[in-house]
Amino acid sequence: MLFLSFIILVSNAVIVTTITCFNCESDFQGALRCQQPCEGSQCVVWKWNSRSELAIKQGCLQGVDKQWTAKVGCRTNHLGASLCVCDDGPLCNRVERAEQTARPLPQIRLPAVECQSKVISSGFVGPRREKVCTSNYCHVTKTETFAEEEGQNSDVLSVSNCGDLPEFDFDVRLKNSIGFPGLYSNGCYRIQVEKRSAMVDCVCSKNKCNEVIPEIETGHVRCYMGKDFRNTSQVDSHEFCDGDFCLIQDAHGRVSKGCISLNERNSWSHLKSGHRRILGVEQWLCQAHLCNYDTERAMKSVRSMRAGKTNSGSFFNFSVGFLTFLIVLVSRFLLI
């Protein structure tokens, strides 16, 4: 029995390897400023043009889907920005990694699509200006500002365009214009961190896929909500929202808490509970009632959920194995 327990434990263990990465960023004058190297499951080097200067960002990824989204390799978008993801050794994210021929990385081709470009606002009166544009991805955001008094209508602003900002237009969404990195392509996400507004962010990769914003049903997990907290332990005990996930995000000292509801039916990658680190931005996602009180409670709920899944999976595997053993035993007995 002890041996069986050991086998089950080993089979359910998750081996997480980390590597050291360069942790650097260009300043406003174009000089590359480096801090202490960071650690993650992958390293990245990201280049784009900013104010006619080459901007560079090097750093770490942890907790982002490696199978479908953060695939090892280099990609260049239609505006010339490039992004390389590597995990083949310490400090693999050198600035010249995209051009390195001794240890070449796979080249990842991004899609090319036609998108709808338009702005729709509940407070705008006049002719709509719509056009078709080309990009690697189509993008649409909706910002809903809620009325302070009951009975008043909310203000809704929807913006459809060709991709996000040029430097963000990749399959790996390390940053985005709404300030919540790590959202996946071909998915739609509703994020709320304050009482008066909520944001929907969608990126898709089929022609004119951003003409209509997909429906997102609000999840049923109750979460703390608020932004501009001093630390991850601070909460507003009077502000709550509901979603599929509760969120804590620490973006270089700017802490926010809230909820995420999602529609990932067309996405290969899916958000999961746990801790993520995306170029210095830390996120904790959990799926229990008010689990985003602080990071300790968030990770405790994640461990509890994973333990439940592991125990049920282990029991199922044991039951199937035991049943198979009985069938073989009975069949041999009948053949005697």
Separation of alpha carbons 250 and 189, rounded Å: 19
* One domain, residues 120 and 266: yes
Average pLDDT, the chain: 87
* One domain, residues 117 and 60: no
The DSSP symbol for 19 reads: E
Residue 149, pLDDT score: 73
- Overall average pLDDT of the 282-310 stretch: 94
CB-based contact 223:190 (threshold 8 Å): no
In the chain, the amino acid numbered 98 is A
Pick the more confident residue, 98 or 11.
98
pLDDT at 167 over 50: yes
pLDDT band at 333 (very low <50, low <70, confident <90, very high): very low
Structure-token pair, residue 110: 């991004």
Residue 7, pLDDT score: 41
pLDDT band at 3 (very low <50, low <70, confident <90, very high): very low
pLDDT at 324 over 90: no
Q: What are phi and psi of 282, to 5 degrees?
A: -105, 140
* One domain, residues 72 and 190: no
Note whether residue 206 is domain-resident.
Answer: yes
Write down how long the chain is: 336
Residue pLDDT, tens place only, 34-72: 999 999 999 999 999 887 889 999 999 999 999 999 999
Note whether residue 306 is domain-resident.
Answer: no
* One domain, residues 172 and 242: yes
* One domain, residues 206 and 171: yes
CA 195 to chain centre: 23
Q: Which helix (H) or strand (E) covers residue 312, if one does?
A: helix 295-335
pLDDT band at 83 (very low <50, low <70, confident <90, very high): very high
pLDDT at 256 over 90: yes
* One domain, residues 241 and 163: yes
> For residue 3, what are the CA distances in angstroms to 13, 72, 228, 290?
15, 38, 51, 39
Separation of alpha carbons 168 and 162, rounded Å: 11
The DSSP symbol for 1 reads: -
The lowest-confidence range among 154-158, 177-181, 255-259, 313-317 is 313-317
Separation of alpha carbons 26 and 58, rounded Å: 9
Residue 4, pLDDT score: 43
Domain stop point among 72, 99, 126: 99
The closest alpha carbon to 93, from 105, 101, 102, belongs to: 105
Note whether residue 136 is domain-resident.
Answer: yes
**What's the domain count of the chain?**
2
Residue pLDDT, tens place only, 105-129: 999 999 999 999 999 888 765 566 7
Separation of alpha carbons 89 and 322, rounded Å: 43
Where in the sequence is the domain holding 264, given as residue range(s)?
Answer: 113-298
Beta-carbon contacts of 282 under 8 Å, excluding residues fewer than 6 positions away, are 249, 250, 275, 276
Pick the more confident residue, 329 or 181.
181
Note whether residue 105 is domain-resident.
Answer: no
* One domain, residues 291 and 222: yes
Residue 12, pLDDT score: 45
* One domain, residues 195 and 284: yes
Angle between helical axes of 295-335 and 2-11 (0-180°, round to 10): 120
Beta-carbon contacts of 69 under 8 Å, excluding residues fewer than 6 positions away, are 171, 172, 184, 185, 268, 269
Separation of alpha carbons 260 and 133, rounded Å: 30
* One domain, residues 89 and 31: yes
pTM (2 d.p.): 0.84
Q: Which helix (H) or strand (E) covers residue 189, if one does?
A: strand 187-194
| pLDDT above 90 coverage of the chain, percent | 68
**CATH number assigned to the domain comprising residue 73:** 2.10.60
* One domain, residues 192 and 254: yes
Note whether residue 335 is domain-resident.
Answer: no
